[in-house]
Structure 1
Amino acid sequence: MTPAQKFHFCSWRPLVTEQRQRKMMARSLFYLGEIGFNDYSFALKNNDTAGLAESLVPHIVGVIRSALIDAIAAGARTMVVAGMIPIGCQPELLTLFPRGTGSYYDQASRCIARFNQLAQLHNRELNRMLCELRRAHPLTSILYGDLYHPVVAVVSSPGKYGFGGMPLAACCGGGGGPYNFNFTFFCGTPLSRACADPSGSVSWDGIHYTEAANRFIARGMLRGL
């Protein structure tokens, strides 16, 4: 192909001008999913106390703020920002940090209370930051997507919402017990097994939610917007 042919081949593509880009951004809905879980999870695994993980909250919220500001500067006008899930309800962490009874577990959900307090701290700081951005950018719609309360609701009262009697157990995995989670039998390994009906489970593999749980969480989030 000659240089002239190359130019002819490429020149038909319309250029996306800055003005056109900003119009596209203004007409679009931007969704920022949950950000920070892996950071908190790794910090908790390296240090059993929640102090190290809590120290990350300002940094993680700051990263989210920077991403939002960049999107606004590029022309975004409608954004949904998801909050943190209840970290203490994850089968993986419930298995890694077993304890006795008492205040270690929330009485209603049976999740690790101090891990969920970390998630609540994240969500408070995130909401505070979002309020500041709304005041600074009154022409931009910045919505908070609540992932925390739908999950706590379904693990606290699974039967009420059509889920099975072991809401904190992984559907796919191995090891049995209340959480059915073990890295040796992690979902996808030869010795792992999946439950007969994933629609009755909240957690698919101890880390990710099932399709049924995601549907329930999404509906709850949308009702709260």
Structure 2
Amino acid sequence: MSTHFNSICLNDCAEMLKKSLFMVGEIGGNNCNYALGIGNKTIKEAMEMVPQAVQAIKNAVQEVISYGALKVVVPGNFPIGCFPIYLTGFQTNNYSAYDKYHCLKELNKFSIYHNDLKIAIEELKQEHSDVTIIYGDYYNAFQWVFRHASNLGQSLSFCY
């Protein structure tokens, strides 16, 4: 990472980094996508990967802070139970498996579990009180769009 920083700021790199906003993530999403998709893992097996992903995110945040970052956004996961790839791959005739938006509840529970990343962020805030670290709540932002789709001129109907 230092090589990259050196390539974009020849002088006063530390000062530039202090004024920058860092987006650290979304890390671990591809691992989960692979595990649940091509890897044919169960949700429980994919959940076992989450602590490693959260630690990788925490390490990445600590690294950018070590280079001088003072403003960091760490995004969480989307509600993957609403994504067509998972709705197709985990399709079931059990209507109770779906929420009112026809999203798979168990997969969204997985996303919420991964979003326990918020605990790691709070730990980082305690360790680095001079740094602003914000959780980017993709899950609830996405859910807001679902709840307000008709007001936004969108439909929740399926595309074929």
Equivalent residue, structure 1, for 2:92: 99
Higher Cα Rg, which structure: 1
Name the aligned partner's letter for residue 132 of structure 2.
S
Name the aligned partner's letter for residue 153 of structure 2.
G
* SS of residue matched to 1:42: helix
Which digits, 9 at most, give the CA deviation of each residue in 1:65-124, with x for residues without a partner? 111111000000001111100111111111122101332111x22111111101000112
Equivalent residue, structure 2, for 1:35: 27
Which digits, 9 at most, give the CA deviation of each residue in 1:143-183, with x for residues without a partner? 011110121232344213321241xx35xxxxx2xxxxxxx
Matches within 5 A, 1:125-164: 126-164=117-155
Equivalent residue, structure 2, for 1:209: none
Identical-residue share of aligned pairs (%): 34
Within 1, Cα distance between the matches of 2:156 and 2:53? 35
Name the aligned partner's letter for residue 22 of structure 1.
A
Change (3 A) 1:35 1:85: same
Within 2, Cα distance between the matches of 1:37 and 1:24? 29
Contact 1:31-1:79 within 8 A present in 2 as well: yes
Equivalent residue, structure 2, for 1:5: none
User: Which sections of structure 2, spanning at least 5 residues, go unmatched?
Assistant: 1-8
Within 1, Cα distance between the matches of 2:113 and 2:156? 29
Matches within 5 A, 1:50-89: 50-89=43-82
Q: RMSD across aligned C-alpha pairs, in angstroms?
A: 1.8
* SS of residue matched to 2:93: coil
Within 2, Cα distance between the matches of 1:134 and 1:128? 10
Equivalent residue, structure 2, for 1:22: 14
Equivalent residue, structure 2, for 1:109: 101
Name the aligned partner's letter for residue 129 of structure 2.
P
Give TM-score scaled by structure 2 length.
Answer: 0.86
Within 2, Cα distance between the matches of 1:137 and 1:120? 25
Contact 2:80-2:108 within 8 A present in 1 as well: yes
Q: After TM superposition, what 4+ stretches of structure 1 lie above 4 angstroms from structure 2?
A: none
Aligned residues: 151
Name the aligned partner's letter for residue 149 of structure 1.
N
Contact 2:25-2:75 within 8 A present in 1 as well: yes
